[in-house]
A and B are shown apart, each in its own frame.
Chain A
Amino acid sequence: MSSLIIAEHDNVEIKPSTLNTVTAATALGDSADLLVAGKDCGAVAEHGAKISGIRRVWLIDKPEYEHQLAESMAPLIADIARNYSHVLAPSSTFGKNILPRAAALLDVQQISDIVAVESDDRFVRPIYAGNAMATVRSTDSVKVITVRTTAFKAAEMTGTATQETYPGKGDSKLSGFLKRESSKSERPELTAAKVIVSGGRGMQNGENFVLLEALADKLGAAVGASRAAVDAGFVPNDYQVGQTGKIVAPELYIAVGISGAIQHLAGMKDSKVIVAINKDEDAPIFQIADYGVVGDLFKVVPELTEALDK
């Protein structure tokens, strides 16, 4: 038995999501190898070789893998995967895009977004927006799995894996990259932040998010949002926390002007401590908040920002 982990990276560095995925793979026992496919991504392979628990890094450095398009990546993964019992990737937009396609080529049923490993063929995953947990047993020869990164610790960086190059499979000619528009932020990444300050419809407009940014800067926090705030155009869509956005589990989650719909709770209810600030004392968010403040956010948030100075 051995596992293959698909590294998420930007050709410069490994994304933290990969480290959580390695921990899930090492819970399966036995050895784990890392696949790094990209263009001019030698530094990524070097970095990957230092992850504890990784035995070998497969490096595929070819132009056709620069943007890690699913059409090129899936045949490559399926080709390498035949020598492994498990194939894992983070359940980020990267992993979700690529891995089911690779599973199709292997004729296996992928297991999405696992939160626990019970044995080499038994896994726990949330369904219905996290309102139920299903334990499933895979009967497939190769287990293809995406991993909910917030459910596993990040692997250490004390490893000494060997590196080997692997031949590519060529350009699929089915798709191509045109452009990327990145949301620039000086704050920590939402999925990796220890503290998150999130705003909802109650913020009323995008300008008012400066109140949350001021609070976030005091706490070294990331800023998130509910779907309502994103749909209303207050903030970009990659701020969205929830069933269909990002799944987060920080030490502290501060929900401001968020009512607490099922779909939002699905993305943050595993946070260690939840604080809700809402003027409606009957808002569902108070049912899961450890500490609730009933009041006008436009008064409470600046007060809180100021109180943190003391």
Chain B
Amino acid sequence: MSRQLRVPDVKRINSELFTLTYGSLVAQLIKDFEDDEEVNKQLEKMGYNIGIRLIEEFLARTNTGKCQDLKETAEVISKVGFKMFLGITPTVTGWDAEGREFSLMFDENPLTEFVELPESHKQLRYSNILCGVLRGALQMIHMKVETEFVRDTLRGDDATEMRIRLLEILQDQAPPGED
């Protein structure tokens, strides 16, 4: 029996406003840090902080129950999560044998709509904030994951691919003190 994936109605804003705001954020970070790797790190960190809050909004709006396995989690991320917040549905693919790793392929990416990366920033992972968002959100529901853009059309690759690796399922915390 597969779960009904329902995307809730949410207030929408103009995606250009969003894209341009993100663009100026990245531009400012590049100015502040000058080093691409450091900018990647900062973007990931910001995404993480967004993710740990965003998951609450997501759960409150969608009423999603617990996922049975990572396959189901992946479906919900792409078909409900990305659909609800970014209006896109990345393709889930590239499972490893144990079902602990998968890829999200982005055919479209609202973050990069007006972006051209200059030669001098080949190390920049422009959409790295998304990695942080996923890591933060999944950590809040007890999944420790590693996320990384392994390919990016902005850097001249043929596709944009995010790799997600499940490291461990975190345990519920026992009450502090007495046992």
Q: Do A and B bind each other?
A: no
Enumerate chain A interface residues (CB-CB to B < 8 A): none
> Which B residues lie at the A interface, using CB under 8 A?
none
